[in-house]
Amino acid sequence: MLFGLFVPHLTFKESLLFSTTCALVVHAIYSRYEVQPSSYTPTALLLVLPPIYSAIFYHQSVPSVSLSILISFWVFYGALLTSIAAYRLSPMHPLYRYPGPLVARLSKFWMMHITAGSKMNEYIKSLHDRYGPYVRIGPNEISCVDMDAMQDIFGPSGMPKGPIWDARGNPDKARMLVALRDFHEHSRQRKPWNRAFSTSAVKDYEPIVAKRVRQLADTLENTFCNSKVGVDITQWFGYFSFDFMGDMAFGGGFELMNDADKEGIWKRMEARVKNLAPLMHIPWATRLLLKFPSITGSVSKFREFTIACARRRKEMGSSTKDLYYHLTNEDGAQLETPNVESILSNGELAIIAGADTSANALSGVFYYLLTHPRELSRLREEVDRVFPRGEGDAVDASRLAGMEFLNAVINETLRLQPALPTYTQRAPAKGSGGHWLGQRFIAEGTAVIAPIYTIHRDPANFWPYPDQFRPDRWLTKHGGKAEWRTNTNAFMPFSMGPANCAGKNLALAEMRTVVAVMVQRFDIEFAQGYDPRTYEEKLEDKFIVQVGELRVSLKTRQ
């Protein structure tokens, strides 16, 4: 009776109509005014108040308060979800004409499920094999492998980073470089990174690379040569890359090759990568999920570790011209004072990009060489010719850079196993209204990915044997076969454009040295009892590619 003094009396059918209308209005508000789910207060008001208010009307027909509330929420959310689904599948949606799986068009939770299954790269490739160069993989997301559109995606007049990058950092903290979505801010913060990885800077790092590679080879020779059980070379590439990254980025501080991973740093990093991957599809939930240690505890712990590393290096000052020498402006090259929070947040990027990706790529090189003994023999012949036996370790960077077959092996590995297989996402800048990809207009609010794994295995770009390890495709004479098709414009393991990988040249120099010294020093084969098929079975696309065990037998070359 009290409610009757303040609200009109509605029949049960009229109450249903009121709830449905509220749901449609809420959907229209989200669509029209771009209310983001990450704006939790407006979201709560829009998603909770209408069904609570509607329950008053249901209570006029239903005596139970709890049943009135249950019916109100059920009808409101049923109508809201139906309205959303109908719009996403309707011709009114800007992506209606793009083919793709029905379930992917309805919700991003589908791609979240695919990512959790670890084979997102293979799934996206299967969609392009079925549907063609443009595939709708989300309510507001497409995947593109059209090479004519790559400059419109990644080039100087392309698009900034897409919404998934909101999930790559803490939204309440300063963003690391790779997660910046504003073109101008990214360009401003990229400048010290460019200085840190310039040609002269990379030459300064070369003696550190040589020292750490020799340490790796010596440790493996003294500890694991002639071992009956062999050694997981993936683990030791991880230790090496972490130690070198520490020298290059923070002026030292890590000795995993000497002390192993006593503090669980590498495991913490792997957990961070795997736990964060599915969440990139729901970036609006990042701020909330970071408050639940059971879900994102590994992510927060690793970030705390990287911030501590960066803070310690900043306070310590430089003894060498490492990465933080440039980021903290110790050379005085920047006119403005660097933002301290940005400096600290970039510690995470330095460690992930400098350690994880390099280690996984090196594992890939030796997996492919060991499954193709003829190519391993050809590489050894080249190494022995350029670095005659008795001359010392193959660590001369200038000679390594000119070794055609060594570089072909590395390129072919990066083609088949790129560090970021799928989600190089871009989106039209906010307020731009949209962006043209060739003759196709992409409306603002739409995200675009260019899956590198799929592009690298497209027969239109690499033929023949697009799915096979064939280093000959990178040789000047193509192994004597004129029919090889190698589209170098489609080769982008380090991305492309102004937001490409700043450390590309150093990463290649590091890989060349490790591969050459390992082939020079050791006879290498799969360890007894190891099944090589498990390597590709355990290869995971967790935004960053993750590899499993690669157990090998090492013998010192005589």
Cα–Cα distance measured from residue 379 to residue 408, given in angstroms and rounded to the nearest whole number: 10
Strands 447-449 and 141-144: parallel
Higher pLDDT, 505 or 353: 505
- Give the pLDDT of residue 526: 97
pLDDT band of residue 480 (cuts 50, 70, 90) is very low
- pLDDT-derived band at 336, boundaries 50, 70, 90: confident
pLDDT of residue 510: 97
pTM: 0.93
Quote the CA–CA distance of 465 and 458 in Å, as a whole number: 10
What distance in Å separates the CA atoms of residue 133 and residue 140, rounded to the nearest whole number?
A: 17
Q: Tell me whether residue 309 is annotated as binding.
A: no
CA pseudo-torsion sign 66, 72, 78, 80: negative
For residue 1, the model assigns a pLDDT of: 40
Q: What is the mean pLDDT of residues 368-391?
A: 96
The mean per-residue pLDDT over the stretch 447-464 comes to 97
Extended strands (E) in 176-313: 231-232
Q: Confidence class of residue 343 from pLDDT cuts 50, 70 and 90?
A: confident
Q: Which of 416, 438, 437 is nearest to 427 (CA)?
A: 437
Q: Which domains does the chain have, with CATH numbers?
A: 3-89 (no CATH), 180-232+345-556 (1.10.630.10)
**Closest Cα to residue 414, out of 355, 482, 495?**
495
- Which residues, in sequence order, are bridge partners of residue 524? 554
Residue 342: pLDDT over 90: no
Query: Distance between CA atoms of 354 and 34, rounded to whole angstroms?
Result: 37
Q: Which range has highest mean pLDDT (292-301, 475-484, 488-497)?
A: 488-497
For residues 50 and 26, is the Cβ–Cβ distance under 8 A?
yes
Q: Is residue 96 pLDDT above 70, yes or no?
A: yes
Distance of CA 213 to the CA centre of its chain: 26
Is the pLDDT reported for residue 8 higher than 80? no
CB neighbours (10 Å) of residue 150?
A: 20
Check whether the bond before 464 is cis (ω within 30° of 0): yes
pLDDT, tens digit, 9 for 90 and up, residues 127-177: 999 999 999 999 999 999 999 999 999 999 999 999 999 888 777 788 899
- Single out the residue of 274, 462, 469 nearest to residue 367, CA to CA: 469
User: Within a 10 A sphere around the Cβ of 358, how many other Cβ atoms?
Assistant: 24
Query: If you compute the radius of gyration of the chain from its CA atoms, what whole number of angstroms results?
Result: 27
